[in-house]
Amino acid sequence: MKKSLPSPPNPFRALGRALLTALLITPLLLSAGGCRSTPKPGELCTQQGCDDGLRIEFQTAKWEVGSYAFRVEADGKHTLCKSVFPLMPCNIGRSVQCTGDPNAAVYESGCGVEAEKQSFSEVHFQSHPKQVKVTVLRDDVQIAEQSFKPTYTVTQPNGPNCEPTCHQAKETLKL
């Protein structure tokens, strides 16, 4: 008795299953992709992020050689950041070391380039303080001090019905 061979799969049936699966799964994937709130019908959420918090940028023509201390008081919480300038080489680690409130930090820039291109760029807060005072000292001599009452703007880079929502403010401290 001869055995009959199974008939080859119908390519249209396989294609139909694939399309049906795609139609059922695609809305689930789109709804999970960066939108925590529900978008309006026909609205998609992109994946753009935003930087939440307060930035106080330092403005100076040149950072002088020396030992720096950055005293930060934000809504009664204190942070002290210390560093030397020029910055240490990148392979040694960060030059700026901070103690106190972990929501505030001084950012450095340029550990891998010559001193003329290095800088302390800003005090960055991962919070939204209402009142801030920043004091900068070089070799134990005060070179700048300023108080701020930041005004925050709300941004939603992916649209009004999509996450994230960021509260941002930027100030400048002249040295």
* pLDDT tens, position by position, 110-137: 999 999 999 999 999 999 999 999 999 9
Is the pLDDT confidence value at 50 over 70? Answer: yes
Average per-residue pLDDT in the chain?
A: 84
Residues 6+ away with beta carbon under 8 Å from 106? 70, 72, 81, 83, 96, 98, 120, 122, 123, 124
Contact, 77 vs 54, CB < 8 A? Answer: no
Indicate yes or no: pTM above 0.85.
Answer: no
Range with top average pLDDT, 18-22, 50-54, 135-139: 135-139
The whole-number pLDDT of residue 55 equals 98
Share in percent of the chain as helix, strand, coil (round to 5): 15, 40, 45
What is the Cα–Cα distance from 12 to 149, expressed in whole angstroms? 66
**Domain extents in the chain:** 53-174
